[in-house]
């Protein structure tokens, strides 16, 4: 019995060493497989559990990592690095929230895929990988959606990012093989078309060479034409003198006419000056009246906005303030304008976003575009909201405004993946990317030209665990947790065991 236990323990150490060797070369999937076999043989092997937790953390599976470390710390309470890993995770609350949000976004993307909303799923996945750049499953699902949409180059980039984290992941390799196979077929088709075009060009070239031979009489005709040109050149040498005399006479007459016209022009200018002075007086009176009416209208709109603010109707506050020209207000009125605008813009923005998303999911794309357009007029730095606005315009059949919304992302987020994606969408819609365009709202600039930065609110709460089979072929939903933190995935246990 003791011999069998020693033999099992030695075999477990051997699998641990194999997993450690694979982890050192970033074959994380292979390493995780060896470590799971190791723990199946010896469940009390804490070093194997610690290394498996590090691998899970590296690939973005925070819940699985914490489970392994908690079990390890319970098995060995003294001198166990798992306790240090858990402490680091709990100390960094910001990283914890980011990982929670990335996992939540991945789960929502899975649900959107099952419901047929691939565009919404891509938005959720981009946000997930932005919060957790090593989230392998998110990259794989993103690549699968892009492959389904026929965007093989975009899918390849997503898979390459996943491969950089886990070089031998079997799902990643399977998807890459499929992408390369489809890309190769397209390249062969393009090569055959080019060869056919070259063959046609060769046939045209041979026909041109055949018809290039000239008959003998062409040389004689060229000689006769040269003689005719020489005769005409000699004839026209006498013409310049006659032309010069005619030009001098015409210039003299033109000078007389110019003097007469100048005198008449001076008289007309004097009369026009008198007319302009009279018109200026009338315009000034009309301008003063218009200015008074405009100022009155601004104060009336400000009063309506304040009444809406008192009744907590924040969207109506923003609508009313768009009709207010703040340059016409007094100092106290400007202070009131700024106060109610700052207090209402965040709530109005959330309300517009909520209304836009609800209308979009209900298929009312025109109403969704109207609400999201108002949200973007308040805050134009959220990629998800602007891209949802562009999709709403596209689904509503308004391609020009959809292109304008994608152009806003290019202008406000230059040099980012969001900008590259928006440029591709503009070209897909048949538009042209304007590289030097200044960032504006898809519906125009905000009413008073004031820009504010809105502080994001951290998401809290605990997602409910769920393990639904992913019908798109990327795996199962993973569970959100309220406790993650510093990415310790870069640490590996360097000690090995002799087997």
Q: What is the per-residue DSSP string for 133-199?
A: TT-HHHHHHHHHHHHHTT-HHHHHHHHHHHHHH-TT-HHHHHHHHHHHHHHHHHHHHHHHHHHHHHH
User: Do 407 and 326 lie in a common domain?
Assistant: yes
Residue 384, domain member (yes or no):
yes
In the predicted structure, residue 93 carries a pLDDT above the cut 70? yes
User: Do 320 and 423 lie in a common domain?
Assistant: yes
Residue 489, domain member (yes or no):
no
Residue 38, domain member (yes or no):
yes
Residues near 262 by beta carbon (within 8 Å), at least 6 away in sequence: none
User: Do 61 and 100 lie in a common domain?
Assistant: no
The pair of structure tokens assigned to 498 is 């002799």
* Residue ending a domain, choose from 399, 428, 457: 428
95-99, 167-171, 189-193, 338-342, range with the lowest pLDDT: 189-193
User: Do 31 and 102 lie in a common domain?
Assistant: no
Average pLDDT estimate for 29-58? 87
Tens digit of each residue's pLDDT (9 = 90 or more) over 298-332? 777 777 777 777 777 778 878 777 778 777 778 87
> What range does the domain containing 24 cover?
2-91
Map residue 476 onto helix, strand or coil. strand
Average pLDDT estimate for 414-428? 89
Residue 227, domain member (yes or no):
no
463/4 Cα distance (integer angstroms): 44
Averaged pLDDT of the chain: 76
* Residue ending a domain, choose from 142, 168, 185: 185
* Range of 14-28, 209-223, 242-256, 266-280 with top mean pLDDT: 14-28
Radius of gyration in angstroms for the set of CA atoms belonging to the chain, rounded to a whole number: 37
Residue 295, domain member (yes or no):
no
CB 321 within 8 A of CB 305: yes
Tens digit of each residue's pLDDT (9 = 90 or more) over 62-80? 788 888 888 988 888 888 8
User: Do 113 and 158 lie in a common domain?
Assistant: yes
Reported confidence tier of residue 275, pLDDT bands at 50, 70, 90: confident
Please give the full DSSP string across 199-263, using - where no structure is assigned. HHHHHHHHHHHHHT---THHHHHHHHHHHHHHHHHHHTTSHHHHHHHHHHHHHHHHHHHHHHHHH
Closest CA to 462 of 474, 436, 447, 480: 480
Residue 362, domain member (yes or no):
yes
Question: What CATH number does the domain containing 56 carry?
Answer: 1.25.40.10
Higher pLDDT, 93 or 18: 18
Tens digit of each residue's pLDDT (9 = 90 or more) over 106-162? 888 888 888 888 888 888 888 888 888 888 888 889 888 888 888 888 888 888 888
In the predicted structure, residue 274 carries a pLDDT above the cut 50? yes
User: Do 114 and 163 lie in a common domain?
Assistant: yes
User: Do 44 and 81 lie in a common domain?
Assistant: yes
pLDDT attached to residue 395: 93
Model confidence, pTM: 0.35
CB 369 within 8 A of CB 392: yes
In the predicted structure, residue 435 carries a pLDDT above the cut 80? no
Residue 329, domain member (yes or no):
yes
User: Do 57 and 152 lie in a common domain?
Assistant: no
User: How many domains would you assign to the chain?
Assistant: 3
User: Do 111 and 83 lie in a common domain?
Assistant: no
Higher pLDDT, 210 or 3: 3
User: Do 118 and 59 lie in a common domain?
Assistant: no
In the predicted structure, residue 450 carries a pLDDT above the cut 50? no
Higher pLDDT, 433 or 216: 433
User: Do 47 and 117 lie in a common domain?
Assistant: no
* Residue ending a domain, choose from 128, 152, 185: 185
Residue 285, domain member (yes or no):
no
213/448 Cα distance (integer angstroms): 75
Reported confidence tier of residue 214, pLDDT bands at 50, 70, 90: low
Residues near 474 by beta carbon (within 8 Å), at least 6 away in sequence: 110, 137, 140, 141, 144, 171
pLDDT attached to residue 389: 93
pLDDT attached to residue 438: 45
In the predicted structure, residue 479 carries a pLDDT above the cut 50? no
User: Do 32 and 79 lie in a common domain?
Assistant: yes
CB 305 within 8 A of CB 317: yes
pLDDT attached to residue 215: 60
Tens digit of each residue's pLDDT (9 = 90 or more) over 408-420? 998 988 889 888 8
């Amino acid at each position: 019995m003791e011999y069998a236990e020693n033999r099992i323990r030695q075999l477990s150490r051997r699998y641990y060493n194999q997993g450690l060797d694979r982890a050192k070369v970033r074959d994380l999937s292979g390493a995780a497989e060896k470590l799971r076999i190791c723990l199946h043989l010896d469940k009390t092997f804490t070093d194997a559990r610690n290394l498996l937790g590090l691998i899970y953390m590296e690939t973005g599976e925070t819940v699985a990592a914490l489970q392994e470390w908690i079990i390890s710390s319970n098995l060995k309470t003294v001198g166990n690095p798992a306790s240090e890993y858990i402490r680091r995770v709990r100390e960094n609350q910001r990283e914890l929230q980011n990982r929670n949000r990335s996992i939540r976004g991945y789960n929502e993307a899975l649900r959107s895929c099952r419901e047929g909303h691939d565009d919404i799923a891509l938005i959720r996945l981009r946000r997930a990988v932005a919060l957790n750049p090593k989230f392998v499953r998110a990259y794989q699902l993103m690549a699968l959606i892009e492959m389904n949409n026929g965007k093989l180059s975009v899918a390849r980039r997503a898979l390459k990012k996943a491969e950089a984290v886990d070089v031998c992941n079997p799902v990643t390799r399977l998807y890459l093989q499929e992408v390369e196979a489809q890309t190769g077929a397209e390249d062969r088709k393009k090569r055959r078309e080019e060869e056919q075009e070259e063959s046609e060009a060769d046939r045209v070239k041979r026909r041109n060479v055949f018809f290039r031979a000239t008959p003998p009489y062409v040389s004689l005709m060229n000689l006769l034409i040269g003689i005719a040109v020489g005769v005409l050149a000699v004839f026209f040498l006498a013409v310049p003198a006659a032309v010069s005399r005619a030009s001098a006479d015409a210039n003299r007459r033109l000078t007389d006419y110019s003097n007469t016209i100048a005198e008449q022009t001076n008289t007309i200018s004097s009369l026009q000056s008198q007319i302009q002075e009279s018109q200026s007086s009338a315009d000034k009176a009309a301008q003063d009246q218009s200015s008074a009416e405009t100022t009155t209208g601004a104060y009336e709109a400000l009063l309506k906005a304040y009444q809406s603010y008192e009744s907590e109707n924040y969207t109506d506050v923003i609508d009313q303030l768009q009709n207010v020209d703040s340059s016409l207000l007094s100092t106290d009125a400007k202070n009131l304008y700024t106060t109610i605008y700052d207090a209402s813009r965040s709530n109005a923005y959330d309300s517009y976003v909520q209304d836009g998303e609800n209308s979009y999911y209900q298929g009312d794309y025109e109403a969704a575009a109207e609400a999201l357009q108002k949200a973007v007029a308040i805050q134009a730095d959220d990629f998800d909201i602007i891209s949802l606005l562009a999709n709403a315009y596209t689904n509503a059949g308004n391609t020009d405004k959809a292109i304008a919304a994608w152009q806003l992302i290019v202008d406000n987020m230059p040099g980012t993946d969001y900008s590259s994606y928006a440029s591709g969408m503009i070209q897909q819609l048949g538009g042209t990317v304007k590289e030097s365009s200044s960032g504006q709202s898809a519906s125009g600039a905000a009413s008073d030209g004031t820009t504010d930065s809105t502080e994001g609110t951290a998401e809290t709460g605990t997602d409910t665990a769920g393990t639904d089979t992913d019908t798109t072929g990327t795996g199962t939903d993973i569970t959100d947790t309220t406790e993650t933190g510093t990415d310790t995935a870069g640490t590996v246990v360097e000690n090995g065991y002799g087997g």
